[in-house]
Structure 1
Amino acid sequence: MLSKDKIDRLNFLSKKSKSTGLTEKEKEEQQSLRQEYLQAFRKDFRRTLDSIEVVDTKH
């Protein structure tokens, strides 16, 4: 997963965008952090799904 610093920065940028708005550089940074977060989330989610084993006890 993303480091705590990056998640904190992403949250800060999100709050700032709602209150005062972001500069173009901050928008680019926010988009980059979002993409990095989504990639890490998908990777972790895929790993979780791959580790699930379905057991059918009715047969």
Structure 2
Amino acid sequence: MDKLIARINELSRKSKTVGLSETELAERDKLRKQYLEVFKGNFRRQLDSIEFTDEKPRKLH
């Protein structure tokens, strides 16, 4: 994950300074999609691991 983020950041910096080639644009898009999939998977696992301990629903005031 660290290498993925590092490469995304590297491409982002280059995009802001000299621009990206078509190949680099495609790579950036692919890496961003990979990052989002990993993030969503981690978030889903975190949500799935939550255990509810309060049996009665609480009223929100």
Question: TM-score range, shorter-chain basis?
Answer: 0.7 to 0.9
Q: TM-score, normalised by structure 2?
A: 0.80
User: How much identity, in percent, do the aligned residues show?
Assistant: 49
1:25-55 CA deviation, whole Å, 9 max, x = no partner? 0000000000110000000000000001122
Aligned residues: 57
**4+ runs of 1 displaced by more than 2 Å?**
none
User: Which ranges of structure 2 fall in alignment gaps of 5 or more residues?
Assistant: none
Q: TM-score, normalised by structure 1?
A: 0.82
State the structure with bigger RCO (CA 8 A, min sep 6), 1 or 2. Answer: 1
CA RMSD of aligned residues (A): 1.7
Larger Rg: 1 or 2? 2
